[in-house]
């Protein structure tokens, strides 16, 4: 899981917010989870999947394997 250390505040039309929350609930995700997913997908579309290395100059954290161990 990613570290969450920054807050993003945005203004949105109340009707769009309500609809967004309804659609998120149908996917069983919170609006925050969906926004993080959309941001991650946007970054990856622009910078590729190795964006963490591009942004920080450091290797991305290794993801746990299916066995639960990190690679």
pLDDT value of residue 65? 47
For 28, list phi and psi in degrees, rounded to 5: 60, 40
Q: Phi and psi for 21 in degrees, rounded to 5?
A: -65, -40
CA 37, 32, 8: angle at the middle one, nearest 5? 95
Domain tally for the chain?
1
Task: Report if residue 36 sits inside a domain.
Answer: yes
Task: Please determine, for residue 71, whether its predicted confidence score (pLDDT) is greater than 70.
Answer: no
**Per-residue pLDDT, 59:** 58
Concatenating the DSSP letter of every residue in 17-57 gives: HHHHHHHHHHTT--HHHHHHHHHHHHHHHHH-TTHHHHHHS
Residue 8 is assigned to a structural domain of this protein: no
Reported as a single tens digit per residue, the pLDDT across 7-55 is: 899 999 999 999 999 999 999 999 999 999 999 999 999 888 887 776 6
State phi, psi for 17 to the nearest 5 degrees. Answer: -60, -45
pTM above 0.75, yes or no: no
Domain assignment present for 18: yes
| Residue 33 structural domain | 14-54
**Mean pLDDT score, 46-70:** 64
Instruction: Give a yes or no: residue 34 inside a domain.
Output: yes
């Amino acid at each position: 899981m990613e570290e969450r250390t920054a807050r993003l505040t945005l203004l949105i039309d109340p009707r769009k917010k309500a609809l967004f929350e309804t659609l998120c609930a149908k996917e069983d995700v919170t609006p925050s989870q969906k926004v993080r997913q959309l941001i991650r997908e946007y970054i990856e579309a622009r910078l590729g999947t190795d964006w963490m290395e591009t942004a920080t100059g450091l290797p991305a954290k290794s993801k746990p394997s299916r066995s639960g161990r990190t690679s």
